[in-house]
Structures are given as C-alpha cells and as structure tokens.
Copies of this chain bind each other. A is one copy, B any other.
Amino acid sequence: MFIGAQVSLYPMTSDFVGVILTALDALSPYRSDLRIETDDISTLMVGAPEPLIDAVRDLFAAAARRPDHVTMHVTLSRGCPGEPDDPSCHCEALARAQDLPLAERQRLAREAVAAAPQIGVGINLQFSLYVLGQDRHMDEIYGCIDFLKASGTFLKSKNFCTRLRGDAGAVFETLRQAFLRFGPAEGHVTIDLTASANSPSLA
C-alpha cells in the first residue's frame, strides 16, 4: 500500500511566503513519520493516514489562525497501482474496517468524527471522493455521502463535490473517515479537496 498527498497552501496576501514558512512549523511533530518533499507547485507527504491527515489539518489550521484569507488544495491517494508498496503507509484501521458492512462502517465513521479533537479554527472545505478500478464505484460514493450528511460537518452538495463546514478537527476527521472507510481496503481511492478560511466572500 502507498498512501500520500500532494499539498499546496495558498495565502491570499503579499506576505504569502511568510505565512507559508510559519505554517510549516506545524509539520515538525510529523516529520519523523512522514516522507516530505517540496517543489514549486506542491509538497508530497507519504505515510499512514493518522499522521498524514493530522499533519495536513495542523498545517492548514496554523495558516488559518492568521487573519488573511488562505486556501489549501490537497490530492490524497491510497493504493495507486502505479506506486510502490511502502511499509510506512501500513494502516491497521484501513485493513480492519473494511471487512465490515456499509452500515457498520458508516457508524464507525460518525463516531470517529464525534470524538475528533477541537482545534479551535473554523474552516470550509469541499472535496470529491474517487473510488477507482471497480465497476460499481458509485455504490461506495453514495454510501459515503450518506455518512457525510450525518457527520455533523455537512454543509451542502455541489456539482462534483461535497461541502463541509466546522472546526478543523471535525472537518478533517470527516475527510479521513471518507478516505479510509469507503472503497475497498486494497483498492485505489483518491480525494481532491479544497479548504478555505477567512474568506471575504463570507464576511
């Protein structure tokens, strides 16, 4: 299994370099658990979903604590057949959860969101879940959407994606549950997400 993300942080301020550098401090606790490589468009993070999603959440929360409008784009992927197996990506939760029927996975996902830590930063997020390499991919998508609607972070459905809103802790836990508990355990699943904070359009 290979699990990782391409992450880009976009502060809408002329001091965008300063905001990015400050926010990068939030990754320090995760650097030993993740492989991290940066180029001019995005930062690759490879590792298990626990530190991976926590790191992405804390990076965005650190930037969102500043007053400036900031967004983040993340491409999350697990099980891509074109990537090598990586022991650091082993995910016990993924393997265990997926023997269960859909209703049970939805229940576990809701419980995980209810138990998420409060980060103290309100965010907006939208994402698309892609379950690849199987004929009946929409069954898992619709099952995930049912979970999202009961997650407490659901805002609305949009074309091609779903909007979430709430504390960064609950929102990113919702995202992690969608990523892990829907689609086959050994399958190829990706998420395309955009997070936003301090948007003047909401003022």
Residue numbers of A with Cβ under 8 A of B are 4, 6, 8, 10-17, 39-42, 44, 46, 68-69, 71, 73, 75, 77, 80-83, 124, 126, 128, 130-138, 141-142, 158-161, 163, 188, 190, 192, 194, 196, 199-202
- What are the residues of chain B within 8 A of A196 when measuring CB–CB? 40-41
State how many angstroms separate the Cβ of A135 from the closest Cβ of chain B. Answer: 6
Instruction: Summarize A's interface: helix, strand, loop or mixed.
Output: mixed
A11 and B12: CB pair below 8 A? Answer: yes
Of A12, A83, A159, A199, most buried by chain B (CB within 10 Å of CB) is A159
Question: Once the chains are docked, how many angstroms separate the CA of A75 from the CA of B193?
Answer: 9
Given the interface pairs A17-B200, A128-B75, the reply to whether A159 lies near B4 with Cβ below 8 Å is yes
Bound Cα distance A42, B199 (Å): 12
Determine if A158 and B124 form an interchain contact, defined as CB atoms under 8 angstroms apart: no
Cα-based distance from A40 to B69 in the complex (angstroms):
11
| Cα–Cα, bound, A90→B96 (Å) | 44
Which of B17, B41, B160 interacts with A124 by CB under 8 Å?
Answer: B41
The answer to whether B12 touches A160, judged by C-beta atoms less than 8 angstroms apart, is no
Q: Which residues on B sit within 8 Å (CB–CB) of A201?
A: 39-40
With A75-B192, A138-B81 already in contact, the answer to whether A159 and B46 are too (CB < 8 A) is: yes
A132 CB contact (under 8 Å) in B69, B80, B83, B131:
B131
Kindly provide the distance from the CB of A155 to the nearest chain B CB, expressed in whole angstroms: 10
User: Inside 8 A of A199's CB, which chain B residues have their CB?
Assistant: 40-41
By beta carbon, the residue of chain B nearest A8 is B194
